[in-house]
Amino acid sequence: MSRDREDILTPAWAVLVLLVALLAPLGRPLATHPVIAQEHDAIDASQILALLTSGEPVVMEHVEIHGDLRLPNLVEVPLILRHSRFIDDVVASHSVFGKVVDLSDSEFRGRVRFTGARFRVPFLC
């Protein structure tokens, strides 16, 4: 390969790598921050519980959660439900949270019970 051709290919590869890096976020969410619901979607509390008990992080915004959300005794993954609406009860009595819990700017229409809960990390509400 001549020197002139190498000089042309190097910038072309750099542009291709840059385009892939910029367009990658438009595909599916990253595994470390899965988002399974979009704005205004309704989700059943049992789906959130299933993710938590299987060790999957819960990262959602602008969702409406239906059904009582009874959190497990030990939560070792992030639980992030920002700008959301909890229609029914949220119960986390005596639960231990090992990762961030962020319920900021959320609305609670049912009862909320965190009696005896322990947070090893920040709790935002």
Q: Where are the domains of the chain?
A: 29-124
Which runs of consecutive H residues, i.e. helices, occur in 1-125? 3-23, 45-53
pLDDT (tens digit, 0 to 9) for every residue of the chain, 125 residues total?
A: 555 555 544 554 444 433 334 443 333 343 445 555 555 689 999 999 999 999 999 999 999 999 999 999 999 999 999 999 999 999 999 999 999 999 999 999 999 999 999 999 999 98
Q: How far apart are CA 47 and CA 27, in angstroms?
A: 23
Taking a C-beta distance cutoff of 8 angstroms, is the pair 45, 88 a contact?
yes
What one-character DSSP code corresponds to residue 82? E
Taking a C-beta distance cutoff of 8 angstroms, is the pair 57, 36 a contact?
no
Taking a C-beta distance cutoff of 8 angstroms, is the pair 77, 55 a contact?
yes
